[in-house]
Amino acid sequence: MTTDHSAETLLIEGADAIAFAQGQFSSNVSALSVGQWQFSAWLDAQGRVRALFHLARIAHDSLLLLLRGGDAASLAQGLQRFVFRAKVKLSAQPTRALGTGPALNTYAFHDEGDLRIYGCGTHSLVVGHASDDTWRSLQIREGWPWLPASTIGELLPQAISLERLQAVAFDKGCYPGQEIVARLHYRGGLKRHMHCVVLSPKLTGGTVLRQNGKTVGQLLDAVHDEGGATALAVIDDDVIDLLKSHASVAIDESITLRVVQSWSA
């Protein structure tokens, strides 16, 4: 089966590339070594996720972002407004195929010819190779979110478990949205979190879940099997509390939902 998720990549290079990324992105970019990648995000002033990506340091002064949703051209345009006099060049790369590769240590990154390979433990993500999309089901089970277009700029990092993925740093300088993200980290208060769920119909990423007409969640990414779909979903905590006393919960439009894994912030 061919993947329907393409590789959108953005190259950031120049003498100030690392400092620029450190001041814009939520992870600790300065700690990233050449030949390694980390999860990272670009947030808006309200702390919501504009972009989620694998951030690889491919050279001393060069970074390559593999987006987990969204498009590289829009991200480059948005970031360009903050370059000012920094010695930084932002280049959205042509869209390429994204496939599954052999096992490679998580956070390892290397090139093989014109292929870009991101290690993910039991497998790897290969930019430039049209193989299969086995990586999707593996990463859904690991709780690695992929953001559909409808969720861009709508979700807080803790709602998609970015603290667990070390995509959010609290011990570095300021970056957009840091104050709000830190407040949630130290004080709590978020009432929706990410879960791996099994659903009765074959729903797709971006599907809004409603109960008694009220929006209670949204699917991020989903893979189908004979019985329905396995998906990552952001769901209101009160629905999850209900599931603690029921094997499954009925959602509007004859959707049956069962949680198989949950993650905190």
The average confidence (pLDDT) of the chain is 93
* 121 shares a domain with 48: yes
| % the chain with pLDDT above 90 | 78
Last residue of a domain, one of 149, 169, 187: 187
Question: Residue 214: inside a domain, yes or no?
Answer: yes
* 234 shares a domain with 118: no
How would you classify residue 84: left for phi > 0, otherwise alpha for psi between -120 and 50, otherwise beta?
Answer: left
**Structural domains of the chain, count:** 2
Average of per-residue pLDDT across 164-191: 91
* 255 shares a domain with 204: yes
Question: Residue 153: inside a domain, yes or no?
Answer: yes
Of residues 121 and 211, more confidence is placed in 121
- Which domain does 244 fall in, by range? 192-262
Residue 86: count other Cβ atoms within 10 Å of its Cβ: 14
pLDDT at 3 over 60: no
* 180 shares a domain with 120: yes
User: What's the CATH number where 97 sits?
Assistant: 3.30.1360.120
* 221 shares a domain with 116: no
Query: Which residues 6+ apart lie within 8 Å of 186 measured at CB?
Result: none
pLDDT digits (tens, 9 = 90+) for 215-251: 999 999 999 987 789 999 999 999 888 877 776 677 8
pLDDT at 52 over 60: yes
Last residue of a domain, one of 155, 187, 219: 187
Residue 162: count other Cβ atoms within 10 Å of its Cβ: 25
Least trusted range by pLDDT, from 49-53, 80-84, 129-133: 129-133
Query: 63, 17 in Cβ contact below 8 A?
Result: yes
Helix (H, G, I), strand (E, B) or coil at 126: strand
* 133 shares a domain with 183: yes
Note the pLDDT of residue 166: 96
pLDDT at 2 over 90: no
* 98 shares a domain with 134: yes
Note the pLDDT of residue 4: 64
pLDDT at 189 over 50: yes
Question: Residue 2: inside a domain, yes or no?
Answer: no
* 196 shares a domain with 183: no
Note the pLDDT of residue 104: 98
Cα(118)–Cα(209) distance, rounded to whole angstroms? Answer: 32
pLDDT at 1 over 50: no
